[in-house]
A and B are shown apart, each in its own frame.
Chain A
């Protein structure tokens, strides 16, 4: 490591050495700043080019775009309400399922689980995050959806609740929500684990010394201390759920519809882009999908900014 510190082709005088080092410093500093700046440019480019692509639709459809529920590109009807609806519903149901489990896993990893189990469980949860979205889509479409259709949906349908009405199709909002829950769970669990782990151990020890059980420590010390961070973890999961594309596209049912039942096929903002963008033929259709993309971008950026602020303020 040290050998390289002394330049092999040592210049003649110290002054020259210093000058060449300084100019190299400047050049490399500029290069590094350029690389870092490239990222900022990419981000701005993302925003600008999508807005540019979406402009015809924004001009043509105006506000009715986000109010209308009819999406029929063949007839020139562009109402994106059902995509917004599907995104909100699937993300909400997914979080409802994933948050309790994710928090349970996180608490297991930081406080309640046996120490020997923590490392392997942590690795497995991260593996859960490593499985590609499209593979979850394949599994959900060919395994989970038939399971839902034949067993779970009839059972849920027997409860008679209005959100469990209609024919048992397997694919639909419920199936998409389940896959989303699986996919956001590692995010929530891992971030929460980090946030809870960052709570100073003195606080834990103090509570334990006062006679608290480990569960009391979690309940009265760790979670209250890390509340904002946990909220951030949930928001990060929400951002992920809203943007998740391939697995949802495989099982959401792909119908632009607003239905009160979770059994009904639906659509999300991300999955409609995935399904229709490659085959969109008219300029307005492409542009309308790009406008959906703009909305998706704004929503995910808002969630991510909020989540980063929350996680950072506590974790550091």
Chain B
């Protein structure tokens, strides 16, 4: 019997939240087992939004399959297409031009910025602070405009292709200038927000010591990304990715593992993302942005892990006649679900959604496997 089962107490009542609930952006089922409004146990069930992307990808030409991965998530769409292309590139031994890698990094870090700002806005909304939420969405608009300028769309940019980035995403002087100006503006706005945020006693009293995930629990529950780093573990996969070698940035950590740490974690990570984008813009090498000199061949199952805004993203597939076989995708929220459940326990029911949201869930793109139950 595991620790969790041993510690389970007699439960007074269950409060089910979902599958559809106004505080949740996506459909998922949160069962809260409460005693006098204090959560004694929690259970998250996903599977409502399963779209069978891997099943659809099965047998598709690799380029088509890659662009399909972008549809998995409306927030980290670039992360998916990048990792999917990266998997193919590792399998086929394609060398990506340096300029293309830099552009991919810019796109990815812009995506990290907009994802973190969305997280902070959503967190503020669940906290009940609508004004913070609205202001953060305004701040995020700067990033969305830049992503739209580069990729042609504000959500599905489709920048990465096998061997580089598509020609639409080439960065000329005018675009680089706009990115630089955007970063200046963002830095100023995020700094102002951070100052206001940490100096608000009501907000701080509401988030300090709530939804605590200890470092030990975070490791036991195999958390990834900022959720893990907010508990003090300095693990950032970008440090292990060769694409990030030329860039200097700090791995941000927080110590307490509570909602405050999780929120501050993302605030400070934004500054690191801005730092990386500035370096990429400044040192952007000349040269082609796509390598077309490669040949399709059959490959064994190949894996790729990258650090995306929410944590570690995994893609793997084999190639057979240029078509994708045995595709598996694992999104970061899958790793963090255990932490989300754990964070609710011992806190007030009003804090439950906040405890879930603090781990930056994206259940819609986590819905990768289903079990069909016969009624």
Q: Do A and B come from one complex?
A: no
